[in-house]
Amino acid sequence: MKKDITDCAPFQYGWKKLYRSLTQDRGQRLCKQISAIALFAHLLQAPLAWAANEPLDSQLDEYKPILLAGEALPEALGKQLHDISLQAVVDGEMEAIPFQIDEYNTGGAVYFKALGVPIDGTEGVMDVNDKLLFLMKDAGDRRTGDQLSDGRMLAEIELEDTYGNLRYVYLVEGSRLRSEEQYVRYSTDVGQVETDFYSLVYNRENQLNWDDFSYGAFKGELPLDTMKIRMTGGLLTDLTSITLNNKNFIATPIGEHVGPIRTTSQMKVMIWLFNLPIMDVSYQAHHYPKSMLYDVRIVMPEVRRKILSDPKLSISLDANNLIGSTVKTAIGPIEPAAVDGRLSSNEKGMLNTPLEPDRNWIWLSSHRDMDVLAFFDYLGNTREPLSIVYDDNADVSDPPERFKGALPQAGYRIDRIPASGFFGFIVSVYLSEGYEGDPEKFTEAARSIPAIRVLDMR
């Protein structure tokens, strides 16, 4: 029987299978000759082909979480969540990789029954606004016909990394295989989040406060102290001012979702004034392997809102003795500010310049194998004025910090709070061993989602 040229190994299996096809006598001399020519041609072009196997950029791509909404995965819609899994080519074979699917509520946050906000869709079923989560690092080579899975292939998901190389994961139905890798670990008893890169312990009495933070690569001890919340305004009028701090904001956990990619803690924050609760807030803390996101949502009762006149709300991180660090922001100046225990002209310039709601990154480099990159995002249609919170002061003492001094303290202040209705924002904190190059480029790359293409394989 005459053999078609496309039946030969280089066309059917690719160069990795050529050695096997060349050493098997199938009585097809022409096919062997083509295989040998293809192998020789591949070796000549090897640098180009091997470029696809370059390691991911460890500070931008490797641990980047990928979130895909159900609407981007029509192949999975309506299916039971426990029946869906994710696989990739690992060492030439199809293997299960870490993933999770989180369900969302009608307000656009991760669904918790205890919160009282209805689920968006059907519980336990893949809906259009549910999210599939996995890490960029677990995507692999493209599957070939001889790589088998114990489930039914639903979709091929193609991603493009920073180098422009294509990587793939596969959505599978009915597979019994699950990865045991847990990138994020959480202990409910002690309120501790732990990843391969950082460990954070929240105070059990008030989970806005930090009891301990460490970053494995950091050359030093305990680089970050705590998170600070402040609300300032007049009491009924502008004639009497008042400041509320962490003592007035009490965060109580009401549920958590612990997954291998992300842990989400749902909390209610009660704001107290003169021992009376004046407002409650929905607060979700999301922890990824190298980042933390704080999602704050408030439905503002107009009557209670009038208790404070012209209120301003701030959220910031207080660092511990990061003398010698440098700070840059999206608003400039071009020269970085040096942390030395006192405010320089550069630092005063940052304090006097408003931030833009859509361009507001803050980058702190410790120069000791830990960088912190922060972003602020409003939720919904809110676009209130925004300022930077910053201090570089070796002598100040400002509880609930554990270590004296703001060296430095940095974050965001919302300069006007709506009089009523929904009000929400997200503060995102990314951790790294060190960002390099133009901050305008890597700050954009840190948040950007790779180009994604989904191919139906049913």
94 close to 284: Cβ distance less than 8 angstroms? no
- Give the pLDDT of residue 275: 83
Q: What is the pLDDT of residues 349-403, one digit of tens each?
A: 889 889 988 899 999 999 999 999 999 999 988 889 999 999 999 999 999 999 9
Distance of CA 33 to the CA centre of its chain: 51
435 close to 422: Cβ distance less than 8 angstroms? no
Question: Is 107 exposed, middle or buried, given 0-12, 13-18 or 19+ CB atoms closer than 10 A?
Answer: middle
Q: What is the pLDDT of residues 292-343, one digit of tens each?
A: 999 999 887 776 667 788 889 999 999 999 999 999 999 988 899 999 999 9
Count of CB atoms situated within 10 Å of the CB of 296: 19
Q: Scanning the structure block, which residue is given the tokens 């305008």? A: 440
DSSP category for residue 449: P
- Give the pLDDT of residue 442: 94
Q: Both tokens of residue 247? A: 């003592």
- Give the pLDDT of residue 332: 86
Percent of the chain clearing pLDDT 90 (strictly above): 70
62 close to 75: Cβ distance less than 8 angstroms? no
Domains in the chain: ranges and CATH: 10-48 (no CATH), 65-181 (no CATH), 190-447 (2.70.98)
Sign, Cα dihedral of 297, 299, 304, 307: positive
Tell me the average pLDDT across 10-36.
36
- Give the pLDDT of residue 118: 97
56 close to 137: Cβ distance less than 8 angstroms? yes
Q: How confident is the model at residue 38 (pLDDT cuts 50, 70, 90)?
A: very low
- Give the pLDDT of residue 305: 66
Q: What is the pLDDT of residues 77-122, one digit of tens each?
A: 999 999 999 999 999 999 999 999 999 999 999 999 999 999 999 9
- Tell me the C-alpha distance between 16 and 39, whole Å: 9
Supply the pTM of this predicted model. 0.86
183-195 burial: b if 16+ Cβ within 10 Å, else e: bbebeeeebebbb
Question: Is 53 exposed, middle or buried, given 0-12, 13-18 or 19+ CB atoms closer than 10 A?
Answer: exposed
